[in-house]
């Protein structure tokens, strides 16, 4: 057995035959899970502290193990770690290298009572915790950039849309707050997921628990977890936190895609509401006049990539029997790809919204008097007329303007309004003012300046809580 390569594998003891080289490649995960090297080294560092506490290591052995782990950490950080055949994953690679540095006799004790099943589950949670902390930070920056614009450009008015048809006048800042609200809700969900995943599976072994009475709670605390998972079977087989993260990534990308679509539309010549900076645009290889919103199109397009990561992993996970099965190795590639895609998307979106310019005049010119038809109905409501009746009367005014070939309902004379309904007074002309229209909507969540500023204040408070 001493000459068999399988003795170098963590699971190789009962195997005597050679593994198909293609199987080695098919089985390997080091090319993508090596990014968890810090988590894996911390895992071993604090797990061995637990072994010392359980009387399974001496202080001298622990010191030597920790010395070796820090050497390995430095090698990964400096890109000088030398991978070798048999390094099928980050756990195998680190343990192999530790044996080379401090000797296999002492290094061989590191895995006492630990399985790769609880080891990888722990590494994943540590890695995800740190990734979500970073995600929360940059997402907070994105919302902050949006809110800063909303505050600075609060005087800009534009059409609000339903069914992509002009509906009612709103503030540009109100539109900005729409997405600031979406992204703030994403931020809050992110914190909730981070809280749920921050429990430790370490010390559960392969599936049945630890045979040496190791202090799991102490190790969990040292690793920065809030507690331990209470069932060893669930501890090694749970990937719900991966699903939650992928779902979060998908929902966020759904929001960023809608955000991008709005800005793509608003940047067209037909709208001309916004202009992207050159840093986030490209030209055409054929048409020199073109300025394409490629950054926004990529944000919109990459949402499909992230949605695919979620649906693909769900299909891998749905029929796995308890507890650990190799199918679970398929969690890492979609997770890592989704996290990286979302991270880059947040940074790009922050750059786009921070550097674009608005065309306040074009926004205002897009407002038309027919958008005040509801305000006309509200005028009569304030005189005691039921809204369902005023809605019908306002519709008659719109039809009257069309019949007379007038450019808008503001061109109907006061006398003609009184012919439509005797309850119209001389003050009906005061309805036809876009600024007055938006300023009437002072209720919480509305588009009046006071309501918009309250939204900004509320969102900032939620981000800092």
Can you spell out the DSSP letters for 372-418? GHHHHHHHHHTTT--HHHHHHHHHHHHHHHHHTT-SSGGGS-HHHHH
Question: Residue 23: helix, strand or coil by DSSP?
Answer: helix
- Of the pLDDT bands very low, low, confident and very high (cuts 50, 70, 90), residue 86 is confident
The beta-carbon contacts of 430-437 under 8 Å, at least 24 apart in sequence, are 431/372, 431/375, 431/376, 431/379, 432/369, 432/372, 432/408, 434/157, 434/169, 434/364, 434/367, 434/371, 434/372, 435/157, 437/168, 437/169, 437/372, 437/375
Q: What is the mean pLDDT of residues 175-185?
A: 98
Six-digit token string for 29: 């995960």
**Separation of alpha carbons 279 and 434, rounded Å:** 34
Catalytic residue, candidates 163, 319, 464, 465: 163
pLDDT at 151: 98
Please calculate the CA angle 381-383-389 and round it to the nearest 5 degrees: 40
Complete DSSP assignment for 168-237? EEEEHHHHHHHHHHHHHHHHHHHHHHHHHH--B-TT-TTTT--TT---HHHHHHHTT-S-B-S-HHHHHH
Structural Rg of the chain based on CA atoms: 31
Pairing mode of beta strands 274-275, 165-171: unpaired
**Marked catalytic residue, from 277, 284, 311, 322:** 284
What is the bridge-based pairing of β-strands 157-162 and 165-171?
A: antiparallel
pLDDT the model gives residue 290: 63
Mean pLDDT of 37-42: 97
Residues 116 and 234: beta-carbon distance below 8 Å: no
* 122, 43 Cβ separation under 8 angstroms: yes
Q: Please tell me whether residue 282 adopts helix, strand or coil conformation.
A: strand
Mean of per-residue pLDDT scores for the chain: 93
Strand, helix or coil at 264? Answer: helix
pLDDT at 31: 86
> What would the CATH number be for the domain defined by 116-365?
1.20.200.10
Using the predicted structure, report yes or no on whether residue 85 has a pLDDT greater than 90: no
Kindly state the average pLDDT of the residues 56-63: 98
Three-state SS for 455? helix
Q: Give the model's pLDDT for residue 428.
A: 95
Q: Which residues lie below 8 Å from residue 7, measured CB to CB, with a gap of 6+?
A: 1, 13
Q: Give per-residue pLDDT as tens, 120-147.
A: 999 999 999 999 999 999 999 999 999 9
Contact of 372 with 432, CB cutoff 8 Å? yes
The winner for highest mean pLDDT among 11-15, 28-32, 287-291 is 28-32
Closest alpha carbon to 293 in 271, 256, 267, 257: 267
Measured distance CA(273)–CA(357) in Å, rounded: 9
DSSP string, 307-368: HHHHHHHHHHHTTPPSS--GGGGGGHHHHHHHHHHHHHHHHHHHHHHHH-EE-HHHHHHT--
Residue 292 is classified by DSSP as B
Average pLDDT, integer, range 281-286: 66
Range with lowest mean pLDDT among 6-10, 62-66, 155-159, 243-247:
6-10
Q: How far apart are CA 186 and CA 177, in angstroms?
A: 14
Mean of the pLDDT values across residues 323-329?
90
Contact 127, 33 (CB under 8 A): no
Query: pLDDT value at position 282?
Result: 77
Active site residue 174: no
Q: Which residue has the higher pLDDT, 147 or 22?
A: 147
**Domain residue limits, the chain:** 5-107, 116-365, 369-464
Whole-prediction pTM: 0.90
Residue 287 makes CB contacts below 8 A (sequence gap 6+) with none
For the cut 90, the answer to whether the pLDDT of residue 350 exceeds it is yes
| Residues 30, 344: Cα–Cα separation, whole Å | 23
- What token pair was written down for 348? 């790009």
Q: What is the mean pLDDT of residues 193-213?
A: 96
* For residue 6, pLDDT beyond 60: no
Torsion of CA 126, 129, 131, 133, to 10 degrees: -140
218 catalytic, yes or no? no
Assigned CATH class of 369-464: mainly alpha
pLDDT at 3: 41
For residue 248, pLDDT over 50 is answered with: yes
pLDDT in tens, 430-449: 999 999 999 999 999 999 99
Architecture of domain 5-107: Orthogonal Bundle (1.10)
């Amino acid at each position: 057995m001493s000459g068999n390569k399988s003795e170098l594998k963590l699971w190789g003891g009962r195997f005597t035959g050679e593994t198909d080289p293609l199987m080695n490649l098919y089985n390997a995960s080091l090319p993508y899970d090596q990014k968890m090297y810090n988590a894996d080294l911390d895992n071993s560092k604090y797990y061995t502290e637990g072994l010392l506490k359980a009387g399974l290591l001496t202080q001298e052995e622990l010191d030597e193990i920790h010395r070796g782990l820090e050497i390995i950490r430095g090698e990964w950080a400096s890109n000088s770690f030398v991978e070798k055949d048999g390094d099928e994953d980050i756990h195998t690679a680190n343990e192999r290298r530790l044996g080379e540095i401090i000797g296999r006799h002492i290094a061989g004790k590191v895995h006492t009572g630990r399985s790769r099943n609880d080891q990888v589950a722990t590494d994943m949670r540590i890695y995800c915790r740190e990734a979500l902390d970073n995600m929360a930070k940059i997402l907070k920056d994105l919302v902050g950039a949006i809110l800063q614009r909303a505050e600075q450009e609060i005087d800009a008015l534009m059409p609000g849309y339903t069914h992509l048809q002009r509906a009612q006048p709103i503030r540009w800042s109100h539109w900005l707050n729409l997405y600031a609200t979406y992204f703030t809700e994403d931020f809050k969900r992110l914190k909730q997921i981070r809280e749920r995943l921050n429990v430790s599976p370490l010390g559960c072994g392969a599936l049945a628990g630890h045979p040496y009475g190791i202090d799991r709670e102490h190790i969990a605390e040292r690793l920065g977890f809030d507690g331990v998972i209470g069932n060893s079977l669930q501890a090694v087989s749970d990937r719900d936190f991966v699903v939650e993260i992928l779902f979060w990534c998908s929902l966020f990308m759904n929001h960023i895609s809608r955000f991008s679509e709005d800005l793509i539309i608003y940047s067209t010549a037909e709208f001309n509401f916004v202009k992207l900076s050159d840093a986030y645009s490209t030209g055409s290889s054929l048409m020199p006049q073109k300025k394409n919103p490629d950054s926004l199109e990529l944000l919109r397009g990459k949402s499909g990539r992230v949605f695919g990561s979620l649906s693909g992993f769900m299909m891998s996970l749905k029929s796995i029997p308890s507890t650990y099965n190799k199918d679970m190795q398929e969690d890492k590639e979609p997770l890592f790809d989704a996290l990286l895609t979302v991270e880059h998307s947040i940074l790009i979106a922050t750059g786009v919204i921070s550097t674009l310019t608005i065309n306040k005049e074009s926004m205002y010119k897009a407002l038309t008097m027919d958008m005040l038809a509801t305000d006309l109905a509200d005028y009569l409501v304030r005189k005691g007329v039921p809204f369902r009746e005023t809605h019908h009367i306002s519709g008659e005014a719109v039809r009257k303007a069309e019949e007379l070939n007038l450019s808008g309902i503001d061109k109907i004379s006061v006398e003609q309004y009184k012919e439509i309904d005797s309850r119209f007074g001389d003050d009906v002309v005061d309805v036809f003012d876009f600024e007055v229209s938006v300023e009437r909507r002072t209720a919480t969540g509305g588009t009046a300046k006071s309501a918009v500023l309250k939204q900004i204040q509320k969102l900032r408070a939620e981000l800092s809580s």
